[in-house]
Copies of this chain bind each other. A is one copy, B any other.
């Protein structure tokens, strides 16, 4: 049996008919390598925005079910067009939406998780020599309800298909050249990583590198699907391979540096120092689906028998969190709630830092030498994060990138400007 390669192309890669023609060529190139090819595509460029705009014009709070019905059409347009483009080049191809294949999800709209993928139709069509083009981002429930997978959904579709088909590899084609040691828009001589572990990629993703959604990386890790992130527009570059840490030879302690400017710091002052107070506080936030990242509880002040509890959350959750905290502080008998959005979280990530105790102190020293004040610290086995002032973020990334010798000799050819709220 032939090897199966799953390829995924995002919205920018299929934004217009010329780009779709290019994607068709990339698909055929893989087919000509002697592999069976399954292609997952997203909706064309701004399709989703256009559909959402129409929905909002009709209903300020459209139902999640109907939004899924609406948005899932975008990928169906892409798969039909890409299939036509492949056929125009003389290759056999066939498109399927999630309902036709049986990409089964939970019965939840707008952010469903895939529970099973039927493979009979896929295998039959591969055996017949077809390139298969699948609609990403969408699924179907047992009852025939159309669902969507939420953020990073098409990546997740691709990885899940690769797992179901026991694919050789899942290639995520995107508008960047791969995973970099840090954002090349900040550090122009950032190096592209040839290889990185799932764990490091997850930490990099959580730390603010927007290449892949954590969910797709987690799925790849769970099913040990090798992932490759590479550019749609530069096929000579092999991008970055993401695999299990056991398959890697680790040379450097630190693989990458990332900065996350999307968080805000919240301090609940004067929380009475009695057992269960923190559990109450974070329990209430968890109930509303608010993820808390770094947490620091100060030593109890003996005089007042109170603590300050500081933590970070995503900016998007701030309004919801404020409402909850106003109630909780009364319940706890705590003092003021202070918000600070002038913060950045800078992280160094590397599977190689396990059992190398000097790394953390090198990080702290480097920040100190640069005159950067550290406000909070959190660590995991393969990551050290420091919360600093927002205006220091760029300086911190550059200094850390240099001290851990991550730069390459070439200047990365990176297009685009920095969006607001990124470094």
Binding site for B on A (CB under 8 A): 17, 20-21, 51, 54-55, 57-60, 62-63, 65-67, 69-70, 72-73, 76-77, 79-81, 83-85, 87-88, 94-95, 97, 99-100, 121, 144-146
In the complex, which of the residues A20, A72, A81 has the most CB atoms of chain B within 10 Å of its own CB atom? A81
B81/A55 in contact, CB under 8 A: yes
B144/A88 in contact, CB under 8 A: no
| Distance from A143 Cβ to chain B, minimum over Cβ atoms (Å) | 9
| Distance from A80 Cβ to chain B, minimum over Cβ atoms (Å) | 4
CA separation between A84 and B67, bound complex, in Å? 9
| Distance from A91 Cβ to chain B, minimum over Cβ atoms (Å) | 12
A69/B58 in contact, CB under 8 A: no
| Distance from A251 Cβ to chain B, minimum over Cβ atoms (Å) | 45
Instruction: Name the contact of A99 in the complex, choosing from B62, B88, B99 (C-beta under 8 A).
Output: B99
CA separation between A73 and B51, bound complex, in Å? 12
CB-nearest residue of chain B relative to A68? B80
**Contact partners of A146 in chain B: CB under 8 A:** 97, 100
B100/A84 in contact, CB under 8 A: no
Q: Known: A95-B69, A100-B144. Is A58-B85 also a contact (CB below 8 A)?
A: yes
| Distance from A106 Cβ to chain B, minimum over Cβ atoms (Å) | 18
**Contact partners of A85 in chain B: CB under 8 A:** 58-59
**Contact partners of A145 in chain B: CB under 8 A:** 100
| Distance from A365 Cβ to chain B, minimum over Cβ atoms (Å) | 56
| Distance from A227 Cβ to chain B, minimum over Cβ atoms (Å) | 28
Other contacts beyond A17-B54, A73-B73: 12, CB < 8 A? A51-B77, A55-B81, A58-B81, A58-B85, A59-B84, A60-B88, A62-B84, A62-B87, A65-B94, A66-B95, A67-B80, A97-B146
**Contact partners of A80 in chain B: CB under 8 A:** 55, 66-67, 69-70, 73
CA separation between A121 and B143, bound complex, in Å? 10
A88/B20 in contact, CB under 8 A: no
Q: Known: A58-B21, A73-B73. Is A84-B99 also a contact (CB below 8 A)?
A: no
B70/A87 in contact, CB under 8 A: no
**Would you mind naming 27 contact pairs between A and B with Cβ atoms under 8 Å apart?**
A17-B54, A17-B57, A17-B58, A20-B58, A55-B80, A55-B81, A55-B84, A58-B81, A59-B88, A62-B87, A63-B83, A65-B94, A66-B80, A69-B76, A69-B79, A69-B80, A69-B83, A69-B95, A69-B97, A70-B76, A73-B73, A97-B146, A99-B100, A99-B144, A100-B145, A100-B146, A121-B144
